[in-house]
């Protein structure tokens, strides 16, 4: 744990101090919500996993990450992804504002015997208590929708090392018509009160704080087949139908890029230049 001292700013800001009202609501929600988030970084690669295309893409972006990197996971929840990111050689600072989630996370880290590699901390992602240029990689799985990205983006950039990357492998988007209908259902609407799902516009706004961005959107009309994938994805017929739907989506999004804003999921990667960009003349 001695590395933590090296990384913190001189006066680390505590999460319980001055937590902004929207963050308090998010924390309250996640302190009570026990449902496990369905996606994980190196999770289920069976054909019955409807999210396979976006998860495969995110895995490619991660590349060979087990190289002694210093990693920050934002909104780590129960630390399942932090344990993956730790690999054999990395160190991962896993932050979340929900004490309840973190306590599950701490137990998982101890059970995995990785307490010397994964450090769960209660911290607000929009008020990072780390020094500038600390992390090689920042990862946040399904978390941007709970953050004020105008505040988070410059913080994220600040703590990235030059040449570092921030990857958000599974961000749900605001405008998919069917998902909008689903989110109006009473059983999920509580979450919607605290979520600000991303749009192509908000991605563009966030990218202004970085030196580069790549994002790819997934699942347009194929969303209709998600229930089929859950039920029949492991059968030949189900797997073929879902594969066809994904391939058609991919084709459609290539020929009509403006449909991307109606997709369900975006996978995002932001860059910090290895050397400061030259001033514009
Ligand atoms: C949808 S869950 C995803 C959890 C985990 N990444 C996973 O994939 O299982 C979003 C997580 O972000 C955390 N979170 C929300 N706002 C946060 C903030 N401002 N700072 C840190 N964590 C936050 C929540 O407490 C919650 O654990």
CATH code (residue 46): 3.40.50.150
Does residue 57 belong to any structural domain of this protein? yes
Of 61, 252, 41, the residue nearest 141 (C-alpha) = 41
Evaluate whether residue 279 is within a structural domain: no
Supply the pLDDT for residue 6. Answer: 46
Biggest CA pair distance of the chain: 59
- Residue 44 pLDDT class (50, 70, 90 cuts): low
Whole-angstrom distance, CA of residue 183 vs CA of residue 26? 17
- The answer as to whether 277 is a domain residue is no
Bigger pLDDT: 14 vs 155: 155
Higher pLDDT, 219 or 277: 219
Parent domain of 179 = 2-271
Query: Mean pLDDT throughout 46-70?
Result: 90
Q: Is the CB of 23 under 6 A from ligand 1?
A: yes
| Nearest atom, ligand 1, residue 73 CA | 6
pLDDT digits (tens, 9 = 90+) for 6-23: 466 555 445 555 677 778
CA of 83 to the centre of ligand 1 (A): 16
Q: Is residue 280 part of a domain?
A: no
- Cα(228) to ligand 1 centroid in Å equals 28
pLDDT confidence of residue 249: 96
Highest-confidence range of 31-40, 48-57, 163-172, 229-238, by mean pLDDT?
Answer: 163-172
143 lines ligand 1 (CB under 6 A): yes
CB count within 10 Å of CB 6 equals 9
> With 60 as the cut, is the pLDDT of residue 268 above it?
yes
Q: Please write the tens of the pLDDT for every residue from 20-43.
A: 777 888 898 888 876 666 666 766
Other C-beta atoms closer than 10 Å to the C-beta of 168 total 27
155 within some domain: yes
The residue whose CA is least distant from atom 9 of ligand 1 is: 37
pLDDT of residue 239: 83
Q: How far is the CA of 237 from the centre of ligand 1 (A)?
A: 36
Q: What pLDDT score does 280 carry?
A: 64
pLDDT at 2: 42
* Reported confidence tier of residue 182, pLDDT bands at 50, 70, 90: confident
Residue 160 pLDDT exceeds 80: yes
| Mean pLDDT of all residues belonging to the chain | 88
The pLDDT of residue 8: 63
pLDDT tens figures, 204-222: 999 999 999 999 999 999 9
Assess if residue 88 is contained within a domain.
yes
The residue-averaged pLDDT of 42-60 equals 83
pTM, full prediction: 0.91
**Buried (b) or exposed (e) across 205-242, using 16+ Cβ within 10 A?**
ebbebbbebebbbbbbebbebbebbeebbeeeebbebb
Please count the structural domains in the chain.
1
Band the pLDDT of 172: cuts 50, 70, 90: very high
What local confidence, expressed as pLDDT, does residue 41 receive?
A: 73
For ligand 1, pick from 15, 39, 140, 143 the residue to mutate: most ligand atoms within 8 Å of CB: 143
């Amino acid at each position: 744990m001695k590395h933590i001292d090296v990384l913190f700013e001189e006066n680390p800001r505590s999460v319980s101090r001055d937590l902004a009202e929207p963050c308090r609501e998010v924390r309250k929600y996640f302190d009570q919500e026990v449902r496990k988030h369905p996606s994980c970084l190196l999770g289920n690669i069976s054909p019955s996993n409807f999210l396979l295309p976006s998860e495969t893409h995110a895995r490619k972006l991660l590349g060979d990450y087990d190289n002694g990197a210093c990693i920050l996971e934002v909104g780590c929840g129960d630390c399942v992804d932090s344990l993956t990111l730790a690999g054999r050689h990395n160190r991962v600072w896993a932050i979340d504002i929900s004490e309840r989630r973190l306590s599950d996370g701490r137990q998982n880290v101890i059970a995995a015997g990785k307490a010397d590699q994964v450090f769960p901390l209660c911290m607000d992602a929009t008020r990072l208590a780390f020094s500038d240029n600390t992390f090689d990689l920042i990862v946040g799985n399904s978390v941007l929708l709970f953050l004020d990205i105008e505040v988070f983006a410059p913080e994220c950039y600040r703590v990235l090392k030059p040449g570092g990357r921030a990857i958000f492998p599974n961000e749900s988007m605001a405008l998919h018509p069917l998902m909008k209908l689903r989110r109006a259902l009473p059983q999920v609407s509580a979450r919607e009160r605290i979520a600000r799902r991303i749009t192509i516009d908000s991605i563009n706004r966030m990218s202004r704080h970085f030196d580069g961005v790549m994002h790819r959107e997934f699942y347009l009309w194929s969303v209709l087949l998600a229930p089929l994938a859950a039920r029949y994805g492991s059968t030949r017929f189900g797997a073929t139908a879902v594969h066809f739907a994904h391939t058609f989506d991919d084709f459609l999004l290539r020929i009509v890029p403006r449909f991307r804003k109606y997709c369900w999921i975006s996978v995002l990667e932001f860059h910090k230049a290895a050397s400061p960009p030259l001033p514009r003349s």
